[in-house]
């Protein structure tokens, strides 16, 4: 089936659920409207809230401070939000002919056993996270900034940019 016709069909039926002419309050049972980009930003915000550290005027969370499962889920959500473009990321940052991914793949093709499957899966996961590390760190930084802003607004502070230095400063109302 053509992907465009499926997405067009989805877009045509979506307004019926959103308009809710019978005031059913919500979506039909078992269905959930999903935005991959929203899922990604919400998960990054959740990670910032759970694992972020507050240092003075900053909220900080490093990608390497997350568990392997959390890193994997963040990378998976990013790949979903970017339409699953995985053409280069499996190689990590090493595009040579003797990179880890190619060697693990050749070993798996040569001898298909649990050990070579596990090695291939580990190398692929490590390479994907390494390839997207800067982008994922940027998402975490944005989530931390948003969390800090929300926390400051809750206590009645507002932000402004200093005209001389260009820094973002906070002040109470």
Residues 45 and 106 in one domain: yes
Residues 69 and 124 in one domain: yes
Q: What pLDDT digit, counting tens, does each position of 30-65 carry?
A: 545 568 899 999 999 999 999 999 887 788 999 999
Q: Can you give the residue range of the structural domain that contains 82?
A: 35-156+167-172
Q: What pLDDT digit, counting tens, does each position of 125-148 carry?
A: 999 999 999 999 999 999 998 988
Residues 64 and 134 in one domain: yes
Please work out, in degrees rounded to the nearest 5, the angle formed at the alpha carbon of residue 92 by the alpha carbons of 87 and 97: 85
Quote the percentage of the chain above a pLDDT of 70.
79
Residues 86 and 9 in one domain: no
Enumerate residues 6+ apart whose C-beta is below 8 A from 33.
Answer: 14, 17, 18, 27
Residues 132 and 93 in one domain: yes
Other CB atoms within 10 A of residue 69 CB: 8
Residues 86 and 117 in one domain: yes
The reply to whether the predicted model has a pTM over 0.95 is no
Residue 21 confidence (pLDDT) above 70: no
Q: What pLDDT digit, counting tens, does each position of 22-35 carry?
A: 555 555 555 455 68
Residues 16 and 100 in one domain: no
């Amino acid at each position: 089936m053509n992907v465009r016709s499926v997405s067009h069909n989805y877009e045509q039926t979506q307004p019926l659920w959103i308009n809710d002419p019978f005031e059913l309050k919500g979506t039909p049972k078992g269905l959930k409207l999903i935005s991959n980009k929203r899922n990604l930003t919400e998960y990054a915000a959740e990670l910032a809230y759970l694992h972020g550290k507050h240092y003075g005027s900053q909220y900080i969370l490093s990608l390497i401070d997350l568990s392997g499962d959390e890193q994997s889920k963040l990378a998976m959500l990013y790949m979903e939000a970017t339409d699953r473009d995985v053409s280069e990321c499996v190689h990590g940052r090493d595009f040579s002919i003797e990179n880890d991914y190619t060697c693990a793949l050749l070993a798996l093709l040569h001898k298909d056993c649990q050990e070579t499957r596990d090695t291939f899966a580990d190398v692929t996961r490590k390479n994907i996270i390494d390839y997207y590390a800067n982008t994922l760190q940027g998402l975490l930084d944005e989530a931390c900034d948003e969390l800090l802003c929300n926390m400051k607004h809750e206590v009645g502070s507002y932000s402004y940019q200093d005209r001389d230095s260009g820094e973002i400063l906070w002040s109470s109302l």
